[in-house]
Amino acid sequence: MRDDPYSELRTDPLTGDRVIVAPGRAERLQPLGGSGRRSRLPRIDPTCPFCPGNEAETTTELYRLPPGQGTAWRVRVVANKYPALSPDSAMELAAPSGPWEAGPAPGRHEVIVESPRHDVSVTELDDEGLFEVLVSYRGRFAAAAADPQVMHVVIFRNQGPLANATILHPHSQLVGLPFVPDLISRKLEVSSAHHGERALLLELVEREIEDGSRLIEASECYATFVPYAAAHDHELWVAPRFLPPRFDRLDDQTLREFGVALRRALALVAEALGDPDYNFILQTPPLLEGAEAALPWYGQIIPRQTVAAGFELAVGVRIVETRAEEAVERLKIALPKVAGL
Ligand SMILES: [Zn+2]
């Protein structure tokens, strides 16, 4: 590993995207400080629409654990009050004249409220609490996948204002899209062109384990590492080591183990980087025949340490300031602090 300040171009083997790694710019990174916001939050906030007692303030309830009514829930899923897409938007639109194209935007946009507690962080959920969040992901993924309008499902979590969270109460979101986004199509195309004993992603995971220089840890089922051409500083993937079934067909034990690996990874980011805002994304293949065999699902954690600037917006190429190998060194320092999680 070089420790000089020269930049290099790395190519993401899963997308072909290039990323500029510019360690010389790392001096620009502001000291990473946590806002400490959670410690100042109340256990229940009477003004929060996601807190128990305020169920009537949310839109249609889609799911809850345990099933029932009232305020005694542990996880609750509701339709997003301000949806990007909605199931009933298949109305006829007036076609624009000229070179423009438009159409209806049917789909799904749901909110998964992860705990009745307003002040808890996902890393503070116990095994059962985290498992129930993942069970909810699994159930809502299945419901979206069964919707003939939906071609691709993304589940994600925005933590903090830099990650675009507008409500502090712990929650994730699910969006069911009526088309397959270009980035996802490209990943599937590259993965489908790979002819090996195992899917390209699984091959990459095993190579990361063998190489070790970007690996945080690996268990029998999952590996946590900073990908070679990470497009974000200190980005982490929690990826399976075997070909998993589609996310909605995962068995409880495999889901539980994913929860443990995910919590450790999130806790590591919080400890090592000073509790930064972050996005967690459950990256899944599109709902196309055979896609999950070529492109297994995996978890992606993106700490929000920099924002896209004019350069990124102009050309769609990311600049990162920390080499993946150096990011791992920094993250691993905090491993003792997440022991036992
Ligand atoms: Zn709340």
Domain assignment present for residue 43? The answer is no
**Quick one: which of 281, 314, 310 has its CA closest to 298?**
281
- What does residue 74 show for φ and ψ, rounded to 5 degrees? -110, -30
Q: What CATH number did the domain enclosing 315 receive? A: 3.30.428.10
Residue 92's pLDDT is 66
Residues whose CB falls within 8 Å of the CB of residue 75, separated by 6 or more in sequence, listed in order: 63, 64, 65, 112, 113, 114, 115, 132, 133, 135, 136
Terminal CA-CA length for the chain? 31
Say what the pLDDT of residue 212 is.
97
Cα–Cα distance measured from residue 275 to residue 297, given in angstroms and rounded to the nearest whole number: 26
**Domain span at 266:** 10-26+57-87+102-338
Query: For residue 75, is it within any domain?
Result: yes
- Token pair listed for 53: 């007692």
335 near 271, Cβ under 8 Å?
no
Q: DSSP character for 94?
A: P
In a structure prediction context, what are the per-residue pLDDT tens digits for the chain, which is 341 residues long? 455 678 999 999 999 999 999 987 766 655 444 454 556 789 999 999 999 999 999 989 999 999 999 999 999 999 998 888 888 766 666 777 888 888 888 899 999 999 999 999 888 999 999 999 999 999 999 999 999 999 999 999 998 887 777 788 999 999 999 999 999 999 999 999 999 999 999 999 999 999 999 999 999 999 999 999 999 999 999 999 999 999 999 999 999 999 999 999 999 999 999 999 999 999 999 999 999 999 999 999 999 987 778 888 899 999 999 999 999 999 999 999 998 88
145 CB-near residues (< 8 Å, 6+ apart): 153, 246, 248, 287
Residue 52 counted as domain residue: no
In a domain, residue 34? The reply is: no
Give dist(CA 17, CA 335) in Å, integer.
30
Q: What is the pLDDT of residue 3?
A: 55
What's the gap in Å between 46 CA and the centre of ligand 1? Answer: 8
Instruction: Give the C-alpha separation, 9 to 34, whole Å.
Output: 31
pTM for the model stands at 0.93
Q: How far is CA 305 from CA 102, 271, 299, 322, 337, in A?
A: 35, 14, 19, 11, 21
235 is a domain residue:
yes
Residue whose pair of structure tokens reads 């075997």 in the numeric block: 242
Residue that is written with structure tokens 């639109």 in the block: 93
Taken as a whole, the chain contains a residue count of 341
Distance CA 37, CA 240 (A): 33
Instruction: Flag whether 95 is in a domain.
Output: no
Cα–ligand 1 centroid distance for 160 (angstroms): 14
Residue 143 maps to a domain: yes
Cα(88) to ligand 1 centroid in Å equals: 28
**Ligand 1 centroid to residue 300 C-alpha, Å:** 25
Give the whole-angstrom CA distance, residue 282 versus residue 297.
7
Residue among 336, 230, 281, 291 at smallest CA distance from 17: 230
CA of 34 to the centre of ligand 1 (A): 20
Question: Residue 275 Cα, ligand 1 centroid: separation in angstroms?
Answer: 20
pLDDT at 22: 92
> Is residue 3 in a domain?
no
Q: How many separate domains does the chain show?
A: 1
277-283-286 Cα angle (round to 5): 145
Q: Provide the pLDDT for residue 17.
A: 94
Q: What is the pLDDT of residue 36?
A: 46
What pLDDT score does 223 carry? 98
DSSP 3-state helix, strand, coil percentages of the chain (rounded to 5)? Answer: 30, 20, 50
CA of 308 to the centre of ligand 1 (A): 30
Whole-number pLDDT of residue 31: 44
